[in-house]
Amino acid sequence: MTLKKAYYQIIVISLLLISTLTYSQVHCGTVELQSSATVDANFTFTDFSKYNAGITILSVARLRVKVENKDPIDLDCSWKLRMFIENNSGAGTAADKWEEITLYGNGNADQPSISDLEVRVNNNCGTPLNTSFRSFTDVNDILNIIEEMLPQVIVPAGSCTASGTKNVNGPGSYLTNYNEYSFDVDLRFKPGFTYNPGVYKLNIRFRLEEVN
Amino acid sequence: MRNFSKLLSTVVLIGFATTASAQLVDEKDVTITLDMQPVLELEMTTPNQIEFVFDEIGEYQAGITQYGATILKVSATVNWDLYAVGRSDTGNRFWSQQVSYGATSNSVADLPLSLLELRQSQQNNGGTAGTSIVDYSSAFATNQSGASGNNSLFVNDDGSGTPPALDNKYIAGHAGTTGIGDTMSAGTYLNNSGTTSDFYYVMDYRIMPKLPATFPNAFEADSTTSESLTSGIAATGFEYAEGGVYTMYVQYILLEDQ
């Protein structure tokens, strides 16, 4: 084989890969996750009863999913919805702690743990596989709302009418199937009395993703 | 040919890596702010005035004790200390004389605030750092047992509310912020075993003048240096209390210790 032929083959293979990249991994036309403007949730503990009982914020955000199929229809179009937690770890925050903004004391006690924050995501049909309050262990933890099934199982829009159907993940929209394609996010935090008083931050990232 | 195979493998790997992240994605964020403000709550049940009226010989000898006159309940979201300090309108370490029943050449009107004795129902479980008497949990000394500074009220020399030092008394916790033997953990009396918890204190008060009225159980903040009227804190030669009406107040202070 001459060098010239070898280069020719490389170019052909590269073009094939680019072609694969362009078409073979995209099964859906669009995926869109909507919510009301940027959401900020404030847990402010100013009296003892709040520390003792915790604070629950219901419907802090309402996520709306819109996944359109391609034209012509691709039977493999499905999606998953997951939650990630961020604490600005690049600035030195420990993986299992809240990011410290300011302290109200000398900081001799513990920093609040990420695992004390509880999140519940549900919709009117109860399609998430887990509809109870859950918590992240640290920033490496990922919580599924609508999961990617192995082997892949696509539950089409409208399946909610069959009572108890979970994990609806086919193409659809909150506009036509509101109860399956919109999600309420509830938050709960009960600090107890062991943490340093101060101001802290976390960010929950909701990611809607096409399933390959 | 070997180089060609390597090149081909590399291209294929890059291709896979690229295609693995090619799916459609959309994201939204919820930012959470946690504002935990320190809360210290001292709930106190007590009469506005606690009166000690000495009008019988027996009361001078045995003293008057007001049992359970004050109940202190603590709720704190941070580590804490609790102490009592004697104060008066005079702005120094003496009771404020409101009425004199008649001064004599041997009487003294400057009664030390520390003549008031306290007794707390629970011992101080966060005061091992203390170097002298750490709290007011000792039983009141009897008339016959001699002078004792175990229960004398803490008073600052300047009459201020400054926290006690390591050799002074606290009700709970102690001086310092090391977190070892000088602090009480956060919590509340509401869910900590009620009356036997570290968040609930019943305070008894006693004044025992004896005869003549020299207040032998008055001691300085270190609990070892006597402040009785015969100890020379007042003008030399004046040895007993002047009859009259005196007032002072006990300030209970709950403070963050972390």
Residue A17 has pLDDT above 80, yes or no: no
Using CB atoms, pick whichever of B19, B37, B191 lies closest to residue A104: B37
Residue A162 has pLDDT above 70, yes or no: no
- Please report the pLDDT score of residue B23 as a whole number: 77
Provide the mean pLDDT of chain A: 87
Secondary structure letter of residue B190 according to DSSP: G
Bridge partners, residue A57, by sequence: A187
Residue B238 has pLDDT above 60, yes or no: no
- Please report the pLDDT score of residue B5 as a whole number: 54
The amino acid at residue B165 is A
Residue found by looking up tokens 């869910």 in the block: B191
Helix (H, G, I), strand (E, B) or coil at A188: strand
pTM of the model: 0.74
> Are the CB atoms for A116 and A45 separated by under 8 Å?
no
Residue A165's pLDDT band, with cuts at 50, 70 and 90, is confident
Residue found by looking up tokens 């847990």 in the block: A43
Q: Is the ipTM of this complex over 0.90?
A: no
Q: What is the pLDDT of residues B24-56, one digit of tens each?
A: 899 999 999 999 999 999 999 999 899 999 999
Structure tokens belonging to residue B28? 């939204």
> Are the CB atoms for A61 and A165 separated by under 8 Å?
no
Residue B70 has pLDDT above 70, yes or no: yes
Distance CA B198, CA B127 (A): 12
Containing domain of residue A49, as a range?
3-210
Structurally, how many domains does chain A consist of? 1
* Exposure of B171 in the CB half-sphere (CA atoms within 13 A): 32
**B-contacting residues in A 179-198 (Cβ below 8 Å):** 185, 187, 189, 191, 193-198
Residue A15 has pLDDT above 80, yes or no: no
Percentage of residues of chain A with pLDDT beyond 70 = 86
Which residues of chain B make contact with A152, given a CB cutoff of 8 A?
Answer: none
Q: What is the pLDDT of residues A190-210, one digit of tens each?
A: 998 889 999 999 999 999 999
**B-contacting residues in A 56-75 (Cβ below 8 Å):** 60-61, 63
Work out whether strand B107-108 and strand B240-241 pair parallel, antiparallel, or are unpaired.
parallel
Query: Is the Cβ pair A61, B28 closer than 8 Å?
Result: yes
- Please report the pLDDT score of residue A22 as a whole number: 44
Which residues of chain B make contact with A14, given a CB cutoff of 8 A?
Answer: 11, 15
